[in-house]
Amino acid sequence: MIVVVDSGGANLVSLLSWVSRLGVDACVSTCSRKIKNASHVILPGVGSAGKIMERLCALRLKELLQSLTQPVLGICVGMQVLFECSEEGGTPCLGLMAGMIKKLPEKTGLILPHMGWNTLQITEASGLMAGVQPNAYVYFVHSFFAPVSKYTRAVAYHGLPFSAAVQSSNFYGVQFHPERSGAAGLQILKNFIEL
């Protein structure tokens, strides 16, 4: 059973619809027992790192998420909270990957938030990115980013290169929305389920 953590504000119906297309059982939950016993955990996020961390702490899920050994996928802000902290309100996050989430630069001609289709450049082999075509288009909606680091498995560019996909041990993250990213997104969700 895959558990999608109800982190508040995320488009859970769309995500569950995509997961169900792969023929696997999934549910939305904040129940510690269900999350701990899940085969895979998805941590979606829309909005701000501060709001998501506030909710996870209020539900007493922070320590549980940090202790998980099964595959965990953070999506959008769910990926951002895998890091130590965010410039967005100086928010302390889960600390599963070293580094700070930063605000995309405001440059002439650069539209924020970064919203729409952009290409992925896979930089390091990862089971999550297997079978994804070079320069595949995926869908982004964000104003904050994870800098390129040792955790980076794919990059995208919006004023500067940033981490589009990351991994540390059993923790994976994608800055884009796989459930809105067509065939590439479906391949990535399929890969995650098969980890």
Residue 15, amino acid: L
Q: How many domains does the chain have?
A: 1
- Start-to-end CA distance of the chain, whole Å, equals 13
pLDDT at 129 over 90: yes
pLDDT at 114 over 80: yes
**pLDDT tens, residue by residue, 39-80:** 999 999 888 999 999 999 999 999 999 999 999 999 999 999
pTM here is 0.96
Helices 182-194 and 12-21 pack at an angle, to 10 degrees, of: 70
Look at strands 40-43 and 2-5 and give their pairing: parallel
| C-beta of residue 149 within 8 angstroms of C-beta of residue 165 | no
In terms of Cβ atoms closer than 10 Å to its own Cβ (0-12, 13-18, 19+), residue 76 is buried
pLDDT at 168 over 90: yes
**pLDDT tens, residue by residue, 131-158:** 999 999 999 999 999 999 999 999 999 9
Tell me what percent of the residues of the chain surpass a pLDDT of 90. Answer: 87
Give strand ranges (E) for 6-113: 26-29, 40-43, 72-75, 83-86, 91-92, 97-103
Q: Which residues are catalytic?
A: 76, 177, 179
Neighbouring C-beta atoms of residue 160, cutoff 10 Å: 14
| C-beta of residue 41 within 8 angstroms of C-beta of residue 73 | yes
What sign results for the dihedral spanned by CA atoms 73, 50, 91, 36? negative
Distances (CA, A) of 152 to 35, 134, 156, 175: 26, 16, 11, 11
| C-beta of residue 184 within 8 angstroms of C-beta of residue 120 | yes
Q: Domain range for residue 187? A: 2-194
pLDDT at 78: 97
The CATH number covering residue 17 comes to: 3.40.50.880
